């Protein structure tokens, strides 16, 4: 979703076919959006370029009517090919300045950060938002740094002014603490993708976010 021309990072779904229990990425994305997901990042680490593009176009088509933006993980070329709303870069992906030179101002660029130093560098380099990870230990990725915890998240919040999306072990039970520690949104993988009912899981997460923001009790 977009608010005053800016991407709404409140509930940021990161896809993972390996965890989707036989459901298609499109099915999971649609269910998540019905439950309140505000942004979808398509992550495909093993797909061929052609397969990635085909899946991205399929997911983009199902998101168009909802107004929920599509972000492509890692692959600037795929993001450009399908006309995605954004691309998300890890620390070992294409350098931020090169990505910006390719996409210009037409696309949002997010950067994964694991420290205050990373965050400050990404802000200085022109990132639009930061994915802060891992907040807590997570089984979804094994190549991450030690968990930052809420204190680490808050330290990054104090150091930069960009929107922060917290990821890594975030779920409905700790979402309020994460938002309270400075995150503008939470990114989840298994909490929605692997849920028995992805739509209900997303709705529960949105409620936890709303409670943390004082929008409901």
Candidates 172, 177, 161; CA nearest to 213 is: 177
Active-site residue, from 10, 17, 20, 43 = 43
Active-site residue, from 10, 17, 20, 112 = 112
Active-site residue, from 6, 124, 141, 213 = 141
Annotation marks residue 112 as catalytic: yes
Annotation marks residue 142 as catalytic: no
DSSP assignment string, 21-73 = TT--HHHHHHHHHHHT--EEEE--SSS-HHHHHHHHHHHHHHHGGGT--EEEE
Annotation marks residue 43 as catalytic: yes
Positions annotated as catalytic residues are 43, 112, 141
């Amino acid at each position: 979703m977009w608010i005053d021309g800016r991407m709404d990072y409140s509930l940021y779904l990161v896809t993972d076919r390996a965890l989707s229990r036989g459901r298609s990425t499109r099915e999971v994305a649609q269910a998540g959006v019905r439950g309140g997901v505000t942004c979808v990042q398509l992550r495909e680490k093993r797909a061929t370029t052609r397969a990635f593009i085909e899946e991205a176009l399929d997911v983009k088509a199902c998101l168009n009517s909802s107004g929920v933006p599509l972000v492509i993980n890692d692959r600037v070329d795929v993001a450009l090919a399908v006309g995605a709303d954004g691309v998300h870069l890890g620390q070992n992906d294409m350098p931020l300045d090169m990505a910006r030179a390719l996409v210009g101002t037409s696309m949002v660029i997010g950067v994964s950060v694991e420290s205050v130093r990373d965050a400050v560098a990404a802000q200085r380099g022109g990132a639009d938002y930061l994915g802060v990870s891992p907040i807590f230990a997570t089984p979804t990725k094994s190549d991450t740094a030690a968990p930052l915890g809420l204190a680490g998240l808050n330290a990054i919040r104090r150091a930069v002014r960009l929107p922060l999306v917290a990821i890594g072990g975030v779920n409905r039970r700790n979402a309020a603490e994460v938002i309270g520690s400075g995150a503008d949104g939470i990114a989840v993988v298994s909490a929605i993708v692997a849920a028995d009912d992805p739509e209900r899981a997303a709705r529960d997460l949105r409620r936890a976010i709303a409670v943390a923001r004082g929008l409901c009790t």
